[in-house]
Structure 1
Amino acid sequence: MSQHVIYAYVDGSDLIDVEADLINRLSAFLNSRSWVCSDVKLVNTKGDPDDPSLGPDDLPDWDLGINIAIPAPGMEPQRWYEDIEATAAFLAEVSAATGREFVVGIGDTATGIAEDVIFIDSSTPDLASLRRILGVE
């Protein structure tokens, strides 16, 4: 099992009006390619609406997007980063079509710590920065 995951989620929690469309788009993308990374999946996880930390007008967290498990450094398969590049390009297209921005980050499944690293909107994603952050040569 991989210890790290690249996540790419729709930014925000007000997703009820776009949930079905985004799930259809994400599912079609996931099924449209042969993935180098072996563990790629659709995520649609809604937080607890009764969370006591939420204010009266707050929405619970909602993770809707893609998780790509990545191998430990030095154990990556050849061309694994092509999965990340293809995902970023796809999300820029979805952002242009839907007006929704995406956040891409890296999470440690052992500790539960995650860090957002770039945002993707309808412009060209900053793949050079993402490569540097991920330590891709």
Structure 2
Amino acid sequence: MQYDQFLAQVRDRGEYADRHEAEFTTLVVLRILAGRLTGQEADDLAAQLPEEVAGILTGFSGEPETFNVHEFLRRIAEVTGASQRTAQWDASAVLSTVADAVSGGEVNDVLTQLPSGYAVLFGQSAISG
């Protein structure tokens, strides 16, 4: 998936007013997600995404943080100034697009590092086999 196509899909799913809003939301969601993944998993995920998106996920060092989906959404809401409900909408717009852009196996690899509750944000009901 090319970057323009990725952003168009995020914009459509999130019903954002313009490309800038879709880019900002993508940046926020993926930066927070990157802090939750191991460096290797973030790199593996980034390898399947457009270069402009991949750069958001890479470059973090140290141990990943451990936080549940509620904290993930709270952090998104804090950065964007939105409600938790809007943060969930934003996360779903970005992460379901990520799931469409990468292999199913990669989505499963990411979800195995995350506690329950994240799968729905990726448009998944659970880890598939």
TM bucket (normalised to shorter chain) is 0.3 to 0.5
More strand by share: 1
Richer in helix (by share): 2
TM-score by length of 1: 0.34
- Compare CA radii of gyration and give the structure with the larger one: 1
What is the TM-score normalised by the length of structure 2? 0.35
